[in-house]
Amino acid sequence: MADSIQPKAAPAAWTPRIVAFFCNWCTYTAADLAGVSRLKYASNLRTIRLMCSGRVDPQFIIDALTRGADAVLIGGCHPNDCHYVEGNYKCLRRYQMLKRMIADMGIEPERLRLEWISAAEGEKVKRVVNEMVETVTKLGPLGMPQKFGEWDQEMEHFAEHVAAKEAAAGVCGCSAHGNKSQKMEAAHV
């Protein structure tokens, strides 16, 4: 299904906004190392430091996307190297579930990425961030806040259509006129 999704045309001045959830002990430290080492990577990242990648709640990802992020990057310790023993395995399970869930929502799965990056891998942070910016740039803006406005307009139009149909049929939903279905429901109570 992801193969059939066409890239969106992006405005000329648009740059992707990526939210990153980084584990304190490994990936966040690697990002710090990349900065201290003066490695150049895209500045499109807004990093949120968590004590463990296992603390990344699926709601954090959905909130980031619905509030305007174009993609989300999760970084954690390598398997069998987690400071909290199995936090990264918990993160991996959630990540796999989230990939399926966002695909069902019509969001390209490439907008969510999980990487295992140790504290010594500053160069990997640079590579992963640059790859992700390139991928999201090709996909174009996600634009979830704008989509909410469009969906609200669709629902208003639908509500108007239903109200017009009910008015034309002489059906009133209020209890003052005694809708037959409401009387039947009251009889069964």
Q: Are residues 138 and 150 in the same domain?
A: no
125 burial type by CB count under 10 A (0-12 exposed, 13-18 middle, 19+ buried) = buried
Gap between the Cα atoms of 117 and 176, Å rounded = 65
Q: Please state, as a whole number, how many other Cβ atoms lie within 10 Å of the Cβ of residue 124.
A: 17
Average pLDDT, integer, range 81-108: 94
Q: Are residues 96 and 178 in the same domain?
A: no
Per the domain annotation, does 75 fall within a domain? yes
Average pLDDT, integer, range 22-46: 95
Q: What six digits make up the tokens of 146?
A: 């704008």
| Helix, strand, coil share (%) of the chain residues, nearest 5 | 55, 10, 35
Average pLDDT, integer, range 94-111: 95
> What pTM, to 2 d.p., does this model score?
0.76
| Number of domains into which the chain is organized | 2
Q: Are residues 171 and 106 in the same domain?
A: no
Q: Are residues 64 and 123 in the same domain?
A: yes
Gap between the Cα atoms of 71 and 141, Å rounded = 9
Q: What is the CA radius of gyration of the chain?
A: 23
Q: Are residues 150 and 136 in the same domain?
A: no
Residue 3, pLDDT > 70, answer no
Residue-range definition of the domain harbouring residue 22: 16-142
Looking at residue 2, its pLDDT comes to 47
Q: Are residues 75 and 157 in the same domain?
A: no
Per the domain annotation, does 151 fall within a domain? yes
Q: What is the pLDDT of residues 125-182, one digit of tens each?
A: 999 999 999 999 999 999 888 888 888 888 898 899 999 988 888 766 555 555 555 5
Question: Mean pLDDT lowest for which of 7-16, 25-34, 71-80, 160-169?
Answer: 7-16
Looking at residue 189, its pLDDT comes to 45
Of 186 and 115, more confident: 115
Q: Are residues 124 and 183 in the same domain?
A: no
Q: Are residues 114 and 39 in the same domain?
A: yes
Domain end point (choices 121, 142, 163): 142
Q: What six digits make up the tokens of 130?
A: 């640059």
Average pLDDT, integer, range 29-42: 95
Of 5 and 71, more confident: 71
Instruction: Return the CATH number at 89.
Output: 3.40.50
